């Protein structure tokens, strides 16, 4: 093949690659936000939910978000409603929504908590959870704990402990250690700490 042909081939490949990306690029940007309108009734406008059993999802790490949606769709994660909702979407749509919600600011709602439990919870958090849930559990690649609704955290921890939600790698060991070493109320103590971050 002569040089000119190689050149034409290269340019053609480049154009093909560009064209292949085009419709997705045009659609992906508005669709994340448009798709999220369906979620607003429960998760609040832009992901800061106002109801105590609906987790806030604003600022959520996009990978954790996509994993959560897939787990709901595949019935790998216990749920009251989300497995029915997640069934309606493709992986691409999960990704589009993930980027939309990740870019939203999380507005924390005030919740009632016990000050003494929260103080003790902060110490337990540093000892058992901070390694993965950095910055006191602020949104990161292990989800959001800080400021998350306490009732949601309670039933989510129950789901882990009762085998209804798959443990993240190495988390079980730390939760077991916290309960063994600090007592049965270790988990609720931790939850008061997360609820105290407002």
Contact set for ligand HEC, span 58-87 (CB under 6 A)? 64-65, 68-69, 79-82, 85
Considering the complex, what minimum distance in angstroms separates the CB of residue 41 from ligand HEC? 5
- The answer to whether 32 contacts ligand HEC (rule: CB under 6 A) is no
Site for ligand HEC in 139-158 (CB under 6 A): 142-145, 153, 156-157
d(CA 3, CA 5): 5
Q: Does 104 bind ligand HEC (CB under 6 A)?
A: no
**Distance of closest approach, residue 116 Cβ to ligand HEC, in angstroms:** 18
Q: Residue 90 interacts with ligand HEC (CB under 6 A)?
A: no
- Number of residues written out for the chain: 198
Q: How far is the CB of 30 from ligand HEC (least distance, A)?
A: 15
* Long-range contacts formed by 24-32: CB under 8 A, 24+ apart: 24/92, 28/92, 28/95, 28/96, 28/99, 31/93, 31/96, 32/96, 32/97, 32/98, 32/99, 32/100, 32/101
Q: Which stretch binds ligand HEC (CB under 6 A): 3-11, 15-23, 53-61, 112-120?
A: 53-61
Instruction: Give the angle subtended at the CA of 153 by the CAs of 147 and 157, to the nearest 5°.
Output: 145
Which residues neighbour 54 within 8 Å (Cβ) at sequence distance 6 or greater? 42, 43, 44, 149, 152
Residues at the site binding ligand HEC, with contacts judged by CB under 6 A: 38-39, 41-43, 53-55, 57, 64-65, 68-69, 79-82, 85, 97, 128-129, 131-133, 142-145, 153, 156-157, 168, 170-171, 174-175, 178, 190
């Amino acid at each position: 093949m002569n040089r000119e042909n190689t050149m034409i081939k290269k340019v053609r490949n480049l154009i093909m690659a560009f064209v292949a990306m085009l419709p997705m690029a045009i659609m992906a940007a508005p669709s994340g936000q448009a798709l999220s309108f369906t979620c607003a009734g429960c998760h609040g406008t832009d992901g800061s939910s106002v109801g105590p059993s609906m987790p806030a999802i604003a600022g959520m790490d996009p990978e954790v978000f996509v994993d959560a949606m897939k787990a709901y769709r595949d019935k790998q994660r216990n749920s009251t409603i989300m497995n029915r909702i997640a069934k309606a979407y493709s992986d691409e749509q999960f990704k589009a929504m993930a980027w939309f919600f990740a870019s939203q600011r999380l507005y924390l709602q005030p919740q009632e908590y016990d000050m003494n439990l929260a103080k003790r919870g902060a110490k337990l958090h540093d000892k058992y959870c901070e390694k993965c849930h950095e910055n006191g559990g602020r949104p990161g690649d292990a989800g959001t704990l800080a400021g998350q609704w306490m009732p949601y955290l309670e039933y989510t921890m129950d789901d882990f402990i009762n085998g209804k939600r798959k443990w993240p790698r190495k988390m079980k060991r730390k939760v077991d250690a916290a309960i063994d070493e600090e007592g049965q109320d270790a988990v609720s103590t931790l939850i008061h700490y997360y609820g105290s971050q407002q």
